[in-house]
Amino acid sequence: MDNIIVLTESQLRELVTQSVDAAMQRYIPLLPSSAPGKETLSVEETSEYLRISESTVRKMIREKKLPFNRIRGQLFAQKREIDAWIRDGRAALDGGDTSA
């Protein structure tokens, strides 16, 4: 017979957080390095790539205007998603009309 374990909400949250952190520790080393042709970009690399300030990138992330992922508290973008964002929506950022 299986034992039933009772946890408080905070204990459950802590258990889930620890489990996710442990899983991500195994995943983060698999992310591409900062070598040329890199597919995963940090906030700093994205700002350089887009030629806008880091604070603007962070603001656009907060406003969900840029495609970004959060992994263990760090922000990463997929270069292909940023490229698609440029093709599909950059004109709106520059004040242009995207309703072609």
Domain CATH for 73: 1.10.10
3-state DSSP call for residue 92? helix
49 domain-assigned: yes
66 domain-assigned: yes
Considering its fold, how many domains does the chain have in total? 1
52 domain-assigned: yes
Kindly report which listed range (11-15, 17-21, 96-100) carries the lowest average pLDDT score: 96-100
Q: Which domain holds residue 56?
A: 38-93
- Residue 87, phi then psi, degrees to nearest 5: -65, -40
Per-residue pLDDT tens over the stretch 18-66: 887 777 666 655 554 444 567 889 999 999 988 899 999 999 999 888 8
55 domain-assigned: yes
3 domain-assigned: no
6 domain-assigned: no
CA distances from 55 to 4, 13, 64, 76 (A): 48, 31, 14, 15
72 domain-assigned: yes
The reported pLDDT for the residue numbered 89 is 66
25 domain-assigned: no
